[in-house]
Amino acid sequence: MLRLPLPLLPAVLAAGLLAACSSVQEDPTAKWTPDRIYTEARDEVSAGAFDKAVPLFEKLEGRAAGTPLAQQAQLEKAYAQYKAGDKAQAQATLDRFLKLHPASPATDYALYLKGLVNFNDNLGMFSWISRQDLSERDQQAAKDSFQSFRTIVTRFPESKYAADARQRMTYIVNSLAQYEVHVARYYYERGAYVAAIARAQTALADYEGVPAVREALQILVKSYDALGMTDLRDDAQRVMDGTFAADGTKASTDFKKKTDPWWKLW
């Protein structure tokens, strides 16, 4: 073992301490005012550097704790997290904001942003799912998005976000219903008629009045027919005739040829 001469030991220890101190990075915002931190964070957002903006908003939350500026920082941090692709953290930040500030005048915006985060998850899922073998998919993100938008429409009908929230709710409902029908058709085309019936019935029960209802009924009629369940087939056909047939004629159970992706509703 190497033994250092005693006179050198204090010098070595001192050098080690200096090296340790130099390795600790100095906080460049230590002497900044809250207003400056906010300005710098906003500049990063404007430049698209959302990952750099997030820690600045976090510092601002601490420096301006208990003030409206801290609440603003929390909301803008959630937006930066969302734009940076960290949607789980954005959700957590928004949930925390809504819990801590239930009477905030920005509650409608927080709910709207929360809906947007899940809405984009929803669209991302719908844009690629049809290229995979389908069985079961988690629809919770879309349902959570719908709930956020519905809360805005219910609690804040005069909010500037309410009109857009209503449109997104309609799209989500149509998308969820069409998803169920798409899965039902997937099962039908593979001869899994019981599974096809179950998914078509889900669409009919949960999403009454949406465009996908017609195809859901078509799948029911054809699946019951394939299983030899003639009474149920005829019941489903009567519902189709009463809803979609013109001049008392029998409604067709033929599927329309798909020219666009199944999730493209317009």
Structure tokens at 68: 């409206």
Higher pLDDT, 238 or 119: 238
pLDDT value for 260:
46
Number of Cβ atoms within 10 Å of the Cβ of 62: 11
Q: What is the pLDDT of residues 128-169, one digit of tens each?
A: 444 443 334 557 888 899 999 999 999 999 999 999 999 999
Q: Are 229 and 197 in contact (CB under 8 A)?
A: no
With a pLDDT cut of 70, the percent of the chain lying above it is 76
Q: What is the pLDDT of residues 41-62, one digit of tens each?
A: 999 999 999 999 999 999 999 9
pLDDT band at 21 (very low <50, low <70, confident <90, very high): low
Least confident of 51-65, 110-124, 238-252: 238-252
Mean pLDDT of the chain: 83
Does the pLDDT value for residue 63 go beyond 70?
A: yes
Residue 15 φ/ψ, nearest 5 degrees: -65, -40
pLDDT value for 93:
97
pLDDT value for 244:
83
pLDDT band at 248 (very low <50, low <70, confident <90, very high): low
Half-sphere exposure of 161 (CA within 13 A, CB side): 22
pLDDT value for 176:
87
pTM over 0.85: no
Q: What is the pLDDT of residues 182-215, one digit of tens each?
A: 999 999 999 999 999 999 999 999 988 888 999 9
CA distance 17 to 226: 81
Half-sphere exposure of 234 (CA within 13 A, CB side): 4
Structure tokens at 229: 């369940």
Q: What is the pLDDT of residues 4-15, one digit of tens each?
A: 455 555 555 555
pLDDT value for 261:
45
pLDDT value for 266:
33
pLDDT value for 14:
54
Q: Are 142 and 176 in contact (CB under 8 A)?
A: yes
Q: Are 217 and 243 in contact (CB under 8 A)?
A: yes
pLDDT band at 27 (very low <50, low <70, confident <90, very high): confident
Please give the domain boundaries of the chain with CATH numbers for all domains: 31-104 (1.25.40.10), 106-266 (1.25.40.10)
CA distances from 223 to 200, 218, 243, 253 (A): 10, 8, 19, 11
**Which range in 169-183, 188-202, 235-249 is most confidently predicted, on average pLDDT?**
188-202
Residues 6+ apart with CB under 8 A from 115: 145, 146, 148, 149, 152, 165, 168
Q: Could you tell me which of 194, 236, 235 has the C-alpha nearest to residue 215?
A: 236
CA distance 21 to 19: 5
Q: Are 137 and 125 in contact (CB under 8 A)?
A: yes
Q: Are 94 and 77 in contact (CB under 8 A)?
A: no
The secondary element (H helix, E strand) that includes residue 135 is none
CA distances from 173 to 200, 229, 261 (A): 15, 30, 17
Structure tokens at 206: 């949960």
pLDDT value for 209:
85
To the nearest 10°, report the CA torsion of 91, 97, 99, 102. Answer: -130
Its sign, for the CA torsion 205, 210, 212, 217, is: positive
CA distance 6 to 188: 86
